[in-house]
Structure 1
Amino acid sequence: MKLSSVFAAVGGVVLAVAVSSCREVEKKTAPPPSVVVEEAAEFDFADSCTEVGTVAAFDSVDLVANVSGFLTEVNFKEGALVKKGEKLFQIDPAVYDAAVKKATADLRKAQADLKNAEIEYDRQKQLLRKDATAKRNYDLAEMNKMTAAADVLAAEAGLEQAKVNLSYTRVLAPFDGWISFKKYSAGNMVGPTSGVLATVVRNGDVKIYFSISETDMLRLLRSYPGADRNADKKGPEVEIDFQDGVRYEYPGRISAWNNAISDGTGTFRLQAVAKNPDRKLFPGMYVRVKIRVEPYSRQIMIRNEAIMREQLGNFVFVVNKDNKIERRKVTLGGKNGGYYAVREGLKKGERIVIAGLQKAQPGSIVTPIANKEQAPDGSATPVANAK
């Protein structure tokens, strides 16, 4: 073997060892992985629950025909605001007006018969005292008088019923409110079996019905002692959102509590009342109702991105003062937007990993980078529900 070949082989080995050593040095001197951290901060927060609610009119009346006849008038614009006492439908009154006249005549005849019976009774009574008539004639006169008096009462009742039926030919608005589309037009025959002619809902405040879980009901009662017995203007406030996510400008208040928990669903039904001056809430509309089930308190809030979940519970990665990763089990509370309240497991000011979680391992050293969205004082970006 030539000497040059030996030197070449030795040189190659030396070069390989040198490259390997350099890589080992680079590996040993590589900086720790970077993670984005955010300090655990406290905010005024109240846990809440959000449920689907149904809007209902404060009062709603189905207008029906209590007597039969042809509709002669429909005196409203569909969907318009009507006033209490306003005539909405007119049923042909001719038959019922005639019935009132006949009942009036029947009453007058009955009154005349009664007067005649009273005269005959008094005459028979005087004759009986003089033994100038038989007792049988007196008894008959007394019976005729009582029968005539009963006929007067029946005639009076008949006249009253006739007047009531005549009044039923005019269908009036029961209160100020909004009227629906009409079901019948003028010229149609209507009666007690015709169903609803139209519906009027009261103008003004509306009711919202919704249900909460038994657990939330208990928390609500603990937070607002006696609220179920004093559900008035001081009742717990609720926030209302439309289905498109837009917040309704007037919050409502719980005004009534049901008397039992539903056997089928295990939920508890509540009623809230909300102002509706601009008529943005319509009966039958679905809304989202948010109610605080506990009073405001200072609570640590962390981002949802920082939370890792497993069967044994929830945990986060905390960067300690030595920049080492600690795995920390946490007990979560309520949620607001992208944030969760932490009941146990964290202290104010501790640094929580919110990005780069795949680089973090318990016990490893990392390079923490403060979240750019943090406030100047180092606290986390305030959540929507913070005061």
Structure 2
Amino acid sequence: MKKKYIIILIVLIASGLLYIKYFSGKTGNKNDFNPGFSEVGKLEYDVKEMDFESSISLKGTTKIKNEQSLRFNTAGRVLQVNYKVGDEVKKDQILAVIDSSEVNAEIEKAKLDVEKAKDELNEFIEKINTTELKQKDLDIELAKVNLTQKEYDINYLKKKQVKELEDANNSLEIARSSLEEKISNFGLDFDEEKRKLAKEKRDFEEFKNNFDNKVKQKVNEYYSNLETNYLSLETKIKDIKNDLEDASIILGINKDNKKFEYRDFFSAKNSSNIGKAKTYLYESNNFYDKMKKSFEDIKDKKDEKNIIKTLELEKKYYESYYKACLFISKGFDDSIESVGFSKSDIDSASSNYSGQASSASSLLTSLTSTIDQLKNLNSIEKIKEDLKDELKQKEINLKKSELSMKRKFQSKDKIDGISNEQREIEIAKNKFYMQELDFEKLKKTQKEDLIQEEISLKRAEISYNDLLKDKEKLINLSENNSYKNFKNSIKQAEVSLKDSIKKLENYVLKAPFNGKITKLDISVGDRLNADTQKFISISDPNSIEINVSINQTDITKVKKGMFTEITMNSYPNKVFSGSVLEINTTPKEENGITKFDAKILLEKPKDVEIYSGLKAEVKIIAYKIKNAIVVPFTAVETGENGEKYVTIIKDGKEEKREIELGFTDGINYEVKSGVEVGEKVLEIDYSKAVNPKVDNGGIDNFGGIDDGAQIDVMY
């Protein structure tokens, strides 16, 4: 019961206070209600129009926004002081200058260094144009003549060898015909095994007598093979680099950021081709780098260990590059046509990389054979051992043949006891077989001679192409290392010059903004060092901020740019305008209350002086409505379903009417619909209310009790 009476007492006191508020001191204001009593003795109000405003009042302190104290950070003697205290200055105007003779000398030297570097570059370019290019053209011409001669020599050799083979073959055929004729005339079916035995004897004796020459020949063949592979590697390393660069551009992994023009359409139907191709191309690049490094480690053209190692790395490179080419070819097959990227272009590119894959496959087979051959003959001792085994095998075969002949003729006498005709046949056979051996030797010798000429031609081609590339480097200066070095020297000299000029900034003090000189410690003739605490202070009195703190209950209402009204004790009769400049959303605690710092920009009139530290009162205008229809909040009730209504007097009778509310200032409500100006509304009759919902604080986020708050009145 005690609680019940306390609540009733609170409601009655609140009503009394509101009554006193509206009856005392308010009659002269056009925005105030003039309440009176209705015929039945209830407090009633006229519905009227009034200006409606909601604001937040804050206290703050002024601060000049732009204030700086400037000092020299460099030692020196003060040569100029261009202003005095109170002078107004513009941004970037020079305030003071100290002696900069040393840095000026440094700048002059840096300028000379730049000019010298440019002169050296011009001399280098002139030297290229007048001397080196002419010499290079002469070298190219000589290399071209040499190459042409080598091409002629190899063609002449081929024709000569064809003629030699024809002559040797004709002689062989004549010997064959003579032998066949003698055998036919004699009518003897000569024992084939005797011919075989004679040949085996000759082969064995020849092999035995020429063993050292054969060893030397095999060694020469081995080192010739090594040299051929070395020269081939030298050429391939250059060709492989170009292949890798072309493929990397297509796949978008080029180090120089070169882009394939139709990258977006490449393999658009199946993007997995790109990922697989990249994987194998990265492997290819890795093996190429190792192969290049291994090639550089080769001491000479007989360094079999490093040559074989490089060939094995080349094999691994082609294993990866073969797969990369397959997937690039598939990528083109899965590409989408576009302008400039027609089907014929796509098919041509696909065919190109399919062909490269086939070439890589063929090279893998060839490399495997070459590596195995070099590994099997990797020393003179191994070559000798193989030839000894071959000689031993020939000796065994010869003995087997002799035993076979002895069994057939049963005595040496019968072997030697042959007729003149048989002896002639035997001589003819020996002649034929010797010519047959000579024919095979000729073919082998011709092959070796042709290989040597081809190697010589290849060297001439490499030399000629290298000279062309050297000339291209001379012409294309961007690829010339010496040119790059000269350009870098110019850049370094220019950077040094810029650094020196930059140092001049330390010898001059400039105004950082428009303002007024407020302090001046420096005089002409002063000698300063880096630790001297002498300043020129400047401020902009026209740019004033007011620092305020906003309560957490109001912070959501405040927006950047909102209009403000500002008053100060220093100017009691003036109201200044301003706006919200900045809101710091980081909260802080003050006496247990959460607040947020903000800055208000004051629009300062020209006829007043405002300094930092002045106390100010700021009113932030949250919103303002002209000629709003309003009713006091003590007349507004809330229904069971949350609807808002008032009680009006119409024709002497009370009538409840639902209304639509707008903003509130904590005392009055804006009514958007439901009542008209001139109608009368009654204050809530608390004596008859049972659990009424009173909107005495539903201030729509502008202070007071939250919307829908209830006050239960109990009797």
Richer in strand (by share): 1
Cα 1:236–1:167 shift into 2, 3 Å: closer
Match of 1:280 in 2: 609
Structure 1 residue 67 displacement after superposition: 4.1
Local SS of the residue matching 1:76: coil
- Comparing 134-143 with 119-128, greater Cα deviation is found at 134-143
Structure 1 residue 280 displacement after superposition: 1.7
Structure showing greater radius of gyration is: 2
1:256 pairs with 2:585: no
Structure 1 residue 126 displacement after superposition: 3.6
Structure 1 residue 281 displacement after superposition: 1.0
Post-superposition CA distance 1:178-207 (Å, at most 9, x none): 122124433444466656732322242422
> Which of residues 104, 107, 124 is equivalent to 2:132?
124
Structure 1 unmatched runs, 5+: 1-36, 222-226, 301-333, 335-340, 344-387
Local SS of the residue matching 2:578: strand
Match of 2:564 in 1: 237
Cα 1:299–1:175 shift into 2, 3 Å: farther
The letter of the residue matching 1:291 is K
Give the Cα separation in 2 of the matches to 1:248 and 1:74: 41
* Structure 1 residues 183-222: aligned runs within 5 Å: 183-190=521-528, 194=532, 197-218=535-556, 221=557
Contact 1:121 1:145 in 2 (8 A): no
Give the Cα separation in 1 of the matches to 2:618 and 2:58: 7
Post-superposition CA distance 1:94-147 (Å, at most 9, x none): 112212211111111111111122233443344234328998999999433322
* Structure 1 residues 133-144: aligned runs within 5 Å: 142-144=480-482
Match of 2:227 in 1: none
Contact 2:62 2:616 in 1 (8 A): no
Match of 1:90 in 2: 97
Contact 1:52 1:286 in 2 (8 A): no
Local SS of the residue matching 2:588: coil
Structure 1 residue 47 displacement after superposition: 7.4
The letter of the residue matching 1:156 is E
Post-superposition CA distance 1:175-234 (Å, at most 9, x none): 32112212443344446665673232224242212112112334xx2xxxxx61xx33xx
Give the Cα separation in 1 of the matches to 2:549 and 2:135: 81
Seq. identity, %? 17
1:145 pairs with 2:483: yes
* Structure 1 residues 1-387: aligned runs within 5 Å: 39-42=23-26, 43=29, 44=31, 50-65=57-72, 67-122=74-129, 123-131=131-139, 142-190=480-528, 194=532, 197-218=535-556, 221=557, 228=559, 231-232=560-561, 235-242=562-569, 246-247=571-572, 249-265=574-590, 266-276=594-604, 277-282=606-611, 284-291=612-619
Cα 1:69–1:291 shift into 2, 3 Å: same
Post-superposition CA distance 1:228-267 (Å, at most 9, x none): 1xx33xx23222213x6x4262413223241414233311
The letter of the residue matching 2:572 is R
Cα 1:292–1:119 shift into 2, 3 Å: closer
Give the Cα separation in 2 of the matches to 1:66 and 1:273: 33
Cα 1:299–1:236 shift into 2, 3 Å: farther
The letter of the residue matching 1:209 is N
Give the Cα separation in 2 of the matches to 1:95 and 1:248: 58
Local SS of the residue matching 2:70: strand
Structure 1 residue 153 displacement after superposition: 1.4
TM-score normalised by length of structure 1: 0.54
Give the Cα separation in 2 of the matches to 1:57 and 1:117: 60
Contact 2:66 2:543 in 1 (8 A): no
Give the Cα separation in 1 of the matches to 2:74 and 2:607: 37
- Count the aligned residue pairs: 258
Give the Cα separation in 1 of the matches to 2:598 and 2:573: 19
Contact 1:80 1:179 in 2 (8 A): yes
Cα 1:299–1:256 shift into 2, 3 Å: farther
The letter of the residue matching 2:138 is K
Contact 2:565 2:575 in 1 (8 A): no
Contact 2:60 2:617 in 1 (8 A): yes
Local SS of the residue matching 2:607: coil
Contact 2:584 2:598 in 1 (8 A): no
Give the Cα separation in 2 of the matches to 1:147 and 1:263: 59
Give the Cα separation in 2 of the matches to 1:50 and 1:130: 93
Contact 2:55 2:621 in 1 (8 A): yes
Structure 1 residue 291 displacement after superposition: 1.2
Local SS of the residue matching 1:114: helix
The letter of the residue matching 2:596 is F
Cα 1:194–1:252 shift into 2, 3 Å: farther
Cα 1:60–1:125 shift into 2, 3 Å: farther
Post-superposition CA distance 1:313-354 (Å, at most 9, x none): xxxxxxxxxxxxxxxxxxxxx9xxxxxx979xxxxxxxxxxx
Structure 2 unmatched runs, 5+: 1-19, 33-52, 143-462, 633-664, 669-715
Give the Cα separation in 1 of the matches to 2:483 and 2:24: 97
The letter of the residue matching 2:598 is L
Give the Cα separation in 2 of the matches to 1:121 and 1:194: 56
TM-score normalised by length of structure 2: 0.31
Contact 2:82 2:95 in 1 (8 A): yes
Give the Cα separation in 2 of the matches to 1:40 and 1:205: 44
Contact 2:57 2:618 in 1 (8 A): yes
Local SS of the residue matching 1:204: coil
Contact 1:176 1:203 in 2 (8 A): no
Cα 1:292–1:153 shift into 2, 3 Å: closer
Cα 1:125–1:264 shift into 2, 3 Å: farther
Contact 1:85 1:174 in 2 (8 A): yes
The letter of the residue matching 1:108 is E
